[in-house]
Structure 1
Amino acid sequence: MVIPDDDPDSPYERFFPYDEPYDHQREAIEGIAEALEDASDVLLEGATGTGKTLAALTPALEHARRTDKTVVITTNVHQQMRQFTAEARAINHQESIRAIVFRGKASMCHIDVGYEECQALRDTTHDLVDAESERADLERRQRDLLEESQAGDGDAAEARSAIMDELESVGEELQTLREEQSTCEHYYHNLTSDTDDFYAWLYDDVRTPDEVYEYAERQGFCGYELLKDGIEGVDLVICNYHHLLDPFVREQFFRWLGRDPSDVIAVFDEAHNVADAARDHARRTLAEPTLERALDELDGSDDPRADAARNVLTTIHTALQETYEDALAFGQRETIEDDWEDLAIDNDDRRDDLTLSLLQHYTGQGVSDDLASALKLGQALDQQYEDAFKDGETSVRKECPTLQAATFFEAWLAESDESGLYPVVSVRRDDDNGDLYGRAELYTAIPQRVTSGLFEDLYATVLMSATLRPFDVTEDVLGLEDPVTMAYGPQFPAERRRTYAVDVPALFASRRDEPELQDTVAGVIEDAARMTPGNTLAFFPSYAEAERYHDRVNIEGTRYLDEPGTRAQELRETFTADDDGVLFTSLWGTLAEGVSFDGDDARTVLVVGVPYPYLDERMDAVQAAYETAFDGEDAGWRYAVEIPTVRKTRQAMGRVIRSPEDFGARVLIDRRYTEDAEIQMPEYAVRGTFPPAERSEMIDVDPGKLKFGLLNFYADVEAYDGDPPAP
């Protein structure tokens, strides 16, 4: 039954673009609407096909329209951005909304310059337009005064003489700005042309960033700046995570919106990724080459503050080199390649090794005093570089390494021993000369250092994902206070899906090289591929394991290998065009979540092993921080490792069965997924970490029996075209 237009209890109906919501979707909409009335945050877990996007957007848009707020929906998955755009277009066709799809500047710049250069070009272009406007105003005034003076007004003649002097000065400024070409032509057209047609076109529908870029390119505009100028007061913004999670970008973003955070309702999609994304956006690093450039910069300065700055930065440089040299194990230097490799420098009972080395080597009036001098000098130099670029004295906007180094190490000394922050030194090999160089980093182990303040400032948030449970862990990690929680399991017919846990020996990293175990796993993969009427997805704990079994299994169909550094989208398109292939990939790759394999694109998904991450120093730091923050030794492993790992598995399982008409099988290949593991090897079992409804659907099978289970299932749903394969 369609929600009636005159139902006073269903005001959101005008923003729902289809005939009616599913029953569970209606329940979620009403629950979120109630939460928004109370300005409460919401955690929404919904399996594939539960309509989470519209369940969140529908009440959010209704509440925002009624209370003069803006809705921001954000994700870290490109495919979801496209899906949001499609849903927003559907809403707009029913109820007119002003929506903008926002993307980072780098991908929308028409002249391909960096952020700092863009900012300087914008300022100089503003100066040019202001000067032209001032000259036009002066021209009008001098003409009026000329007429008055010709009519015999002596005061007008004197005033006109002063105006003519101003005109000459403005003319010289304009000539300098034009000759040095330190302006942006595209942005100039934004400021001087009629942009009404652009905004009429923009808000006639929901436009993608590519469409905006192409339209602006044809008209000679800067599409990115037009979006920024036109974003104020819109109903809906679609963007990626960094617009909200990066503190610097977020401040500007709210300013462009013309909104205080308290007037923004934020919807986070794929919200199980928010914790890791918050860590990424909070990271602060400084590499050794930046320190070296800072010292070169100071050598060329005659500012009286340069000596103190040089003293402290030289000491820091020496300390950094000593720290990574001392931390390298015997023979490790020769194994370092061009990827950053972390070295252990943290100490349980004292400051980190880098700080200790710095304090040991420093001599002078005081580290803090010298850093303050370096910071003030860096700020002065940075302003000089800004002015030089704006005045056309340099063709690029030069960065100030002294400012970067002083800012970073001021924070390092103040915060590196704070709870939730982990000091790291890493090394890599220079591609050009083969030398090693180091990098210092303040790593944020506790995401809520980034997220809790954001959630407090926003009016309300809706965090949604297919894998948010356990909710209490999500609340703790992100720093949410008493959110409303709701969960909806699979909504499609249960008889059209099967989940098997195959009792092969646990695929511990220490056993993966055993030939007998490899034979068993390869046989299970071959059986699954043979019994599947269509494509099979096979996920592994690493790309190396994916490659191992890609080379080992023997199937009649085509084997596809996803490799790091390759374009997964092209591989996906080739794979889904097949009808009897197996795609071997990593659970930590880009195909494990946020990507749909609808219908015949894939029928069976295999998860081979339990995809625990590599337990490095950072992961140890995260575990230790969680143990401290949440008062329990078990919290470290559970919060940092086990739950995120099971979420990875659940995400991979969700790649198939994407609609009520769809069908498919999910196969977990490892004894740790079985029910017996809870008794036989409880310290390693992971089944209990799955939500109860998902656990109840798991069927334990022996390796040799999987083929019969798949045969019976696919025969029951009449999936085979002709006679089924022989088991």
Structure 2
Amino acid sequence: MSTTDDHLRFFPYEEPYPNQREAMDRVDNALARGQDVLFEGAPGTGKTLSALVPALSHAREHDRTVVITTNVHQQMRQFVEDARAINAVEPIRATVFRGKSSMCHIDVDYQECQTLRDTTRSLVDDQADREQLEERMEQLTDDLRDDGDGSAAEARQAVAEELDALDDDIEEATNTCDYYYNNLTGDTDEFFSWLFDDVRTPDEVYEYAGSRGFCGYELLKEGMENVELVVCNYHHLLDPTIREQFFRWLDRDPDDVITVFDEAHNVEDAARDHASKSLTENTLDAALNELDETDDSRAEPAENVLRAFAEALRATYDDRLGYGERESVGENWTDVSIANDDRRDDLTLAFLDRYEGSGIRAECDLALQLGRSLDEDYEDAYKNGEATTRRECQTLQAAGFVSAWMDGGAELGQHPVVSVRRDAGTDEVYGRAELYTCIPREVTEELFGEVYASVLMSATLRPFDVTKDVLGLTDPATLAYGMEYPEENRRTYSVATPALFASERDDPATQETVASTLADAVRFTPGSTLLFFPSYGEAERYHELLAGDPELGTLLLDGSGQDTEQLRTRLVDSDDAALFTSLWGTLAEGVSFDDDDARTVAVVGVPYPRLSERMEAVQDAYDRAFADRSRDAGWEYAVEIPTIRKTRQALGRVIRSPDDFGVRLLLDKRYTSADMGKYSVRDAFPREEREELVDIGPEKLKFAMLNFYTDHDAYDGQPPEP
């Protein structure tokens, strides 16, 4: 049997898609070498199985575990479906893992759960010890009755004293978890038999375990040893602390783990979020109150350094909020600029100006020592039943952050930020300090270096050299497969509408041209239409401009506060709806629109992200980190390439199978072959996608769409009149 045939036993369907067999072979070969893989494949072409099938085959042969992960909820459901299909043809041991908070039957936070676990386990251990001592007591009583041995009497007295002490401990063990207690004392064989009989979702585990009085989350952790496949969220791998625990639950060394990242173009931002650290003014105030209640010699230096930082934080954002700006602060965090080009940031300078003491580092160390001591006290109080909840040590959190701020705030890739928001309860404005991580490879390079191999897959990973640089990969294998579905089933038009520069978007003539072109696109689509804009504001603008046209059917508007799943359902259920949304929203990737669910998709403008200080910081960090790769690495790596990736993701929402057909539109002259100089973005697309772009004037689009859809007999009845 060949290697290919060997791993194909995990392939659950009759025949692979075009290129899928080759992709599986190439991934299999890379894994045999322990080599990472960057794998780009067009939407709907079977990337998941192309990676999963050879990964599972390799894992079984070499006693490794495959961890497949995504940050898109719909993809998690797809993983479960694929794993169940595999399990039906080749049984595998698989678990689907989710965070504790969504699976807790008593609704406590992570730290409190950890303490409840410890106290519950101690209770069970004490009860087991008590049973052994009772057996020993009975034996000694018999010995004493039989021969009146004095040594037996002394031993019996010692055991009785131990029993009394254990009884006191057992009686005082009030802060325990009944569900976890049942895990430790009950018969869980039936649960694990059920768990591995199929691939179970976290919701199914929650219900099944909960109905039997067990904690499904802890049983999942216990059952992860010797599994071949784990499905989980990004944070289980990207958070270094969680990852260490996660591998321990797997009972695996990192070198025995193969990671598969889906939607891997999102790893950059996700890693950046996991690496960033923050501290709110509320936590600082709570830490100061905690220290005020503490009778410890270390409290005074700890209070000295934390109070100076708290005062500096308040003074910094007060100075930055101009006339009327404080009143306009809302409930979402808003950044205020504190960075300087030639010296440390304004918060650090304000802190140094206010601080008076024996040394920031020395007093931070004392604060950390005291914080750890207080945290242990809170733990003991909860375990012993002296407190009904597990108190968190605010001093420990605050001191840890201030230490990190002073040590790392000036390092390359660490950008200091202050933000403000309004408390919904008190209506007061308060602040937050944050160390924003600009270069994600500081998180990902360690991960990819320690696991056996990783497969990163997406419809939009190219250019591969940029992905490799940004994530810190060493010599990965690269695979790229374009859309293999019949080319006659799709048209991709680059429409020469005016270039939607920010300065041009308010021009009435520009708006009229774009609105008219969008109206044509919606009217000549036999089915529903997806319209992606640079922002929700632009989506709302054109929704209003088209709302009065009765020929356009149902017009749906997405927004930051909308239920996107409800909107998606309304679009799918309609015969002729159009959805106006942002390219940076949740519907631009990871969501399939099959057949009439969406026949036409349009990206309006070149949707560069909103320019912000954070984005400028990322650009600056990339300029310095990758200066030897590109003359303009900051713009290219941080702005242009991510924007084109998002655009390509949006275009991929339609044409999801070989029989599907549709039209994809790019509305902006910068997408065309016209001479736009440095503003042109056409060359940022992969070559084969550029070759499919058909330039067209906005006035001719309706005729082109009419001809295409007529050729596919797509109209139900008479087609619309041009």
Give the structure 2 partner of residue 18 of structure 1.
13
- Residue identity opposite 1:653 in structure 2: L
Q: How far off is 1:153 after superposition? A: 5.5
1:375 to 368, 378, 381: 368
Matched, 1:508 2:481: no
| Structure 2 CA distance for aligned equivalents of residues 189 and 43 of structure 1 | 45
Query: Does the CA-based 8 Å contact 1:131-1:174 persist in structure 2?
Result: yes
| Structure 2 CA distance for aligned equivalents of residues 363 and 157 of structure 1 | 66
Query: Does the CA-based 8 Å contact 1:597-1:656 persist in structure 2?
Result: yes
| SS of residue matched to 1:151 | helix
- Pairing 1:605-620 to 2, within 5 Å after superposition: 605-620=601-616
| SS of residue matched to 1:532 | coil
| SS of residue matched to 1:15 | coil
Range moving further from structure 2, 98-107 or 324-333: 324-333
Give the structure 2 partner of residue 442 of structure 1.
435
| SS of residue matched to 1:462 | strand
Q: Flag as ranges the 4+ runs of structure 1 deviating above 4 A.
A: none
Matched, 1:60 2:58: no
Q: How far off is 1:151 after superposition? A: 1.9
Matched, 1:222 2:215: yes
Give the structure 1 partner of residue 595 of structure 2.
599
| Structure 1 CA distance for aligned equivalents of residues 108 and 2 of structure 2 | 53
Query: Does the CA-based 8 Å contact 1:100-1:237 persist in structure 2?
Result: yes
Aligned identity (percent) is: 61
Listed one character per residue, the Cα deviations across residues 353-375 of structure 1 (whole Å, up to 9, x for unaligned) are: 11122112211111111111111
Matched, 1:207 2:212: no
Q: How far off is 1:633 after superposition? A: 4.5
Give the structure 1 partner of residue 644 of structure 2.
646
Give the structure 1 partner of residue 717 of structure 2.
722
Give the structure 2 partner of residue 170 of structure 1.
166
Query: Does the CA-based 8 Å contact 1:49-1:491 persist in structure 2?
Result: no
Q: How far off is 1:149 after superposition? A: 2.2
Give the structure 2 partner of residue 397 of structure 1.
390
- Residue identity opposite 1:651 in structure 2: Q
Matched, 1:50 2:45: yes
Q: How far off is 1:724 after superposition? A: 1.5
| Structure 1 CA distance for aligned equivalents of residues 228 and 323 of structure 2 | 60
Matched, 1:249 2:245: no
Range moving further from structure 2, 458-467 or 299-308: 299-308
Matched, 1:417 2:413: no
- Pairing 1:108-257 to 2, within 5 Å after superposition: 108-152=103-147, 154=149, 155-177=151-173, 181-257=174-250
| Structure 2 CA distance for aligned equivalents of residues 633 and 132 of structure 1 | 69
| Structure 2 CA distance for aligned equivalents of residues 725 and 67 of structure 1 | 61
Give the structure 2 partner of residue 93 of structure 1.
88
Matched, 1:354 2:347: yes
- Residue identity opposite 1:332 in structure 2: E
| SS of residue matched to 2:695 | strand
Matched, 1:310 2:303: yes
Range moving further from structure 2, 215-224 or 425-434: 425-434
Query: Does the CA-based 8 Å contact 1:45-1:469 persist in structure 2?
Result: yes
| Structure 2 CA distance for aligned equivalents of residues 357 and 392 of structure 1 | 43
How many residues are matched? 716
Give the structure 2 partner of residue 107 of structure 1.
102
Task: Say if 1:326 and 1:95 are closer, same or farther in 2 by CA, change over 3 A.
Answer: same
Listed one character per residue, the Cα deviations across residues 593-622 of structure 1 (whole Å, up to 9, x for unaligned) are: 000001111100011111110110000000
Matched, 1:385 2:378: yes
Matched, 1:79 2:74: yes
Q: How far off is 1:331 after superposition? A: 4.0
| SS of residue matched to 2:386 | coil
Matched, 1:266 2:282: no
Listed one character per residue, the Cα deviations across residues 410-463 of structure 1 (whole Å, up to 9, x for unaligned) are: 111111111111111111223234332211100000000110011000100000
Matched, 1:536 2:532: no
1:670 to 648, 661, 668: 668
Supply the RMSD in Å over aligned alpha carbons: 1.2
| Structure 1 CA distance for aligned equivalents of residues 225 and 415 of structure 2 | 38
Query: Does the CA-based 8 Å contact 2:519-2:552 persist in structure 1?
Result: no
Query: Does the CA-based 8 Å contact 2:4-2:25 persist in structure 1?
Result: no
Gaps of 5+ in 1: 1-5
| Structure 2 CA distance for aligned equivalents of residues 617 and 331 of structure 1 | 21
Range moving further from structure 2, 656-665 or 346-355: 346-355
Give the structure 1 partner of residue 520 of structure 2.
527
| Structure 1 CA distance for aligned equivalents of residues 413 and 27 of structure 2 | 32
Query: Does the CA-based 8 Å contact 1:308-1:374 persist in structure 2?
Result: yes
Gaps of 5+ in 2: none
- Residue identity opposite 1:567 in structure 2: D
1:365 to 339, 354, 358: 358
Matched, 1:493 2:489: no
| SS of residue matched to 1:546 | helix
- Residue identity opposite 2:686 in structure 1: P
| Structure 2 CA distance for aligned equivalents of residues 328 and 633 of structure 1 | 36
- Residue identity opposite 2:449 in structure 1: E
| SS of residue matched to 1:315 | helix
Give the structure 2 partner of residue 3 of structure 1.
none
Range moving further from structure 2, 68-77 or 344-353: 344-353
Q: How far off is 1:332 after superposition? A: 2.8
| Structure 1 CA distance for aligned equivalents of residues 68 and 677 of structure 2 | 40
Query: Does the CA-based 8 Å contact 1:550-1:559 persist in structure 2?
Result: yes
Query: Does the CA-based 8 Å contact 1:101-1:237 persist in structure 2?
Result: yes
| Structure 2 CA distance for aligned equivalents of residues 726 and 588 of structure 1 | 34
Query: Does the CA-based 8 Å contact 2:517-2:698 persist in structure 1?
Result: yes
Matched, 1:275 2:264: no
Matched, 1:38 2:33: yes
Give the structure 1 partner of residue 448 of structure 2.
455
Q: How far off is 1:722 after superposition? A: 2.2
| SS of residue matched to 1:278 | helix
| Structure 2 CA distance for aligned equivalents of residues 215 and 534 of structure 1 | 41
| SS of residue matched to 1:29 | helix
| Structure 1 CA distance for aligned equivalents of residues 146 and 28 of structure 2 | 71
Query: Does the CA-based 8 Å contact 2:18-2:484 persist in structure 1?
Result: no
Matched, 1:569 2:565: yes
- Residue identity opposite 1:224 in structure 2: Y
Q: How far off is 1:717 after superposition? A: 1.4
Give the structure 2 partner of residue 634 of structure 1.
632
Listed one character per residue, the Cα deviations across residues 265-296 of structure 1 (whole Å, up to 9, x for unaligned) are: 00000000000000111111001111111111
